Amino acid sequence: MKVVIPGGTGQVGGVLVRALRERGHDVVVLARGGRSDARVVRWDGRTLGDWAAEIDGADAVINLAGRSVNCRYDKTNLTEMLASRIDSTRVVGRAIEVAARPPRVWLQASTATIYSTVSTLRTTS
């Protein structure tokens, strides 16, 4: 089975990549940088590009992309965290939409951290 994992270089992605590879699956990580035990294909998380060919014919996509939440929750960081999740979800959806052989499964995940833009901005602004 071929699994494409946007944002798969983080902590959760690393565990998932290892588990899938141990079971014999072909895993491709879409990343802006970082390292992985899987093949890494570069993307920017915002625009459709050559990386979309990896999604065409894949069995599953597991989107873990998003700016790290390991930071101060100020207005700039919160804006970047939210935008990175929206942008990556939108472009993965677009890649699936234009694929000749779209994946049968798309799992969307974000982070275990709970953050509220409104309440946090009120306390940090």
pLDDT (0 to 100) of residue 113: 60
CA-nearest of 23, 120, 39, 28 to 81 is 120
**Whole-prediction pTM:** 0.86
Give 29-47 pLDDT, tens digit per residue.
999 988 888 999 999 999 9
Give 49-93 pLDDT, tens digit per residue.
999 999 999 999 999 998 888 788 888 888 888 888 999 999 999
Is the predicted pLDDT of residue 110 greater than 90, yes or no?
A: no
Is the predicted pLDDT of residue 95 greater than 80, yes or no?
A: yes
pLDDT (0 to 100) of residue 114: 54
pLDDT (0 to 100) of residue 125: 46
3-state per-residue secondary structure call for the chain? CEEEEECCCCHHHHHHHHHHHHCCCEEEEEECCCCCCCEEEECCCCCCCCCHHHHCCCCEEEECCCCCCCCCCCHHHHHHHHHHHHHHHHHHHHHHHHCCCCCCEEEECCCCCCCCHHHHHHHHC
**20 phi, psi to nearest 5 deg:** -70, -40
- Which tokens sit at 124? 């940090």
pLDDT (0 to 100) of residue 82: 86
**62 phi, psi to nearest 5 deg:** -125, 100
